[in-house]
């Protein structure tokens, strides 16, 4: 039996309010951590990776910059390549190794403070953990590729570079000599801005999904005369059958293709009502991530990579990034979609 509209609205408002509190707390703490440079400590893991990958220590510094600011990190690697410190093969290896450390920033700024509160602790940690392992696997692939494919011929340590490493990080606002009060103010402004951006979408999308879930049969009956008239399950059965996912995965993936946050908001109530198991939800979001990645490649990656590297080498970077992400997401899906897993 469908709930009363007032009860449904109250339920949605309570849910959104509780999520908003956690998002505000998480975003606030994350913003303070970023402003005071805590994220940069993650990059301490980078330096031991450069030696087995046959890369110079400067690449470890570029990875540090990537953790604080991907734009700064890529800019430093581009400078190293242009100066002759790294040839094209060594640069591709370095870019691949950057993957996990670029992801690490998003743990502090998006996945932890935003996505986990929306999805809930269990599913949120499973999804973020899966994405972290995928990124880590790509970084490990870069280290292995460096060990197997790079030698002294690919690196010229005699050249001097003009990269101001501290300035590269500070240029993107992650460092600098701002006083403590200014940093706290910047953190507060960042928190308010993110909350203003997320909460309206959270409320609208969550209310829409909750309404569709609660009144699906009534809505379809009014529009088409029968609760089975649309035949949605039959239309998507071949796709969802091949993946072993519920039919609700199709609209979820479509929303993920447009925006990750909205995709999480869309799937959250479907997890709560049992439409998705935790593993099925994570698998659906990973598939949505592939579609989203394809869309973002055209919207953001191509302009960004071409701007950093130029068309020819930028295309190589895009191809390597795309292939590795799709391959390792596919591996994760094989594990999640195993017959005994869902």
327: in domain? yes
82: in domain? no
Contacts of 70 (CB under 8 A, 6+ apart): 98, 102, 105
Q: What is the pLDDT of residues 45-80, one digit of tens each?
A: 667 888 899 998 888 878 877 777 777 788 888 888
239: in domain? yes
Q: What is the pLDDT of residues 260-279, one digit of tens each?
A: 888 888 898 899 888 899 99
317: in domain? yes
pTM recorded for the entire structure: 0.73
262: in domain? yes
Count: domains in the chain: 1
Residue 321 belongs to domain spanning: 232-337
265: in domain? yes
C-alpha distances out from residue 259 to 198, 205, 278, Å = 11, 12, 20
More confident residue, 333 or 37: 333
Nearest Cα residue to 71 out of 105, 97, 48, 41? 105
Determine whether 134 is exposed, middle or buried from the number of CB atoms within 10 Å of its CB (0-12, 13-18, 19+).
buried
Q: What is the pLDDT of residues 105-152, one digit of tens each?
A: 788 778 888 899 889 999 999 999 999 999 999 999 999 999 999 998
Asked if 115 and 264 count as a contact pair (C-beta separation under 8 A), the reply is yes
Question: Is the predicted pLDDT of residue 209 greater than 80, yes or no?
Answer: no
First CA to last CA distance, the chain:
27
Sequential DSSP letters for 119-169: H-HHHHHHHHHHHHHHHHHHHHHHHHHHHHH--GGGB-TTS-----HHHHH
Is the sign of the CA dihedral 304, 39, 125, 12 positive or negative? Answer: negative
32: in domain? no
166: in domain? no
Question: Is the predicted pLDDT of residue 85 greater than 80, yes or no?
Answer: yes
């Amino acid at each position: 039996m469908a709930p009363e509209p007032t009860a449904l609205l109250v339920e949605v408002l309570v849910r959104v309010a509780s999520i908003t509190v956690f998002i505000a707390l998480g975003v606030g703490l994350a913003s303070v951590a970023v402003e005071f440079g805590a994220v940069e400590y993650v990059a301490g893991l980078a330096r031991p990776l450069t030696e087995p990958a046959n890369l110079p220590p400067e690449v470890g510094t570029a990875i540090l910059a990537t953790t604080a600011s991907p734009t700064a990190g890529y800019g430093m690697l581009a400078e190293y390549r242009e100066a002759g410190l790294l040839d094209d093969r060594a640069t591709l290896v370095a870019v691949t190794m950057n993957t996990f450390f670029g992801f690490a920033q998003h743990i502090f700024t998006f996945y932890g403070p935003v996505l986990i509160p929306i999805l809930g602790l269990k599913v949120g940690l499973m999804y973020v953990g899966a994405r972290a392992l995928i990124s880590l696997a790509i970084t490990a692939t870069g280290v292995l590729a460096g060990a197997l494919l790079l030698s002294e011929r690919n690196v010229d340590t005699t050249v001097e570079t003009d990269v101001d490493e501290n300035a590269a990080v500070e240029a993107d606002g992650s460092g600098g000599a701002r006083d403590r009060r200014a940093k706290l103010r910047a953190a507060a402004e960042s928190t308010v801005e993110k909350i203003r951006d997320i909460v309206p979408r959270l409320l609208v999308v969550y209310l829409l999904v909750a309404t569709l879930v609660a009144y699906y049969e009534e809505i379809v009956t009014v529009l088409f005369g029968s609760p089975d008239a649309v035949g949605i399950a039959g239309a998507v059965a071949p796709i969802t059958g091949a993946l072993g996912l519920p039919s609700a995965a199709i609209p979820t993936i479509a929303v993920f293709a447009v925006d990750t946050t909205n995709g999480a908001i869309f799937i959250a109530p479907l997890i709560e009502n049992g439409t998705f198991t935790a593993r099925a939800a994570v698998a659906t979001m990973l598939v949505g991530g592939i579609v989203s990645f394809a869309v973002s490649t055209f919207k953001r990656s191509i302009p960004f990579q071409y701007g950093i590297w130029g068309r020819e080498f930028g295309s190589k970077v895009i191809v390597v990034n795309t292939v590795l992400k799709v391959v390792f997401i596919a591996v994760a899906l094989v594990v999640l979609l195993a017959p005994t897993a869902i």
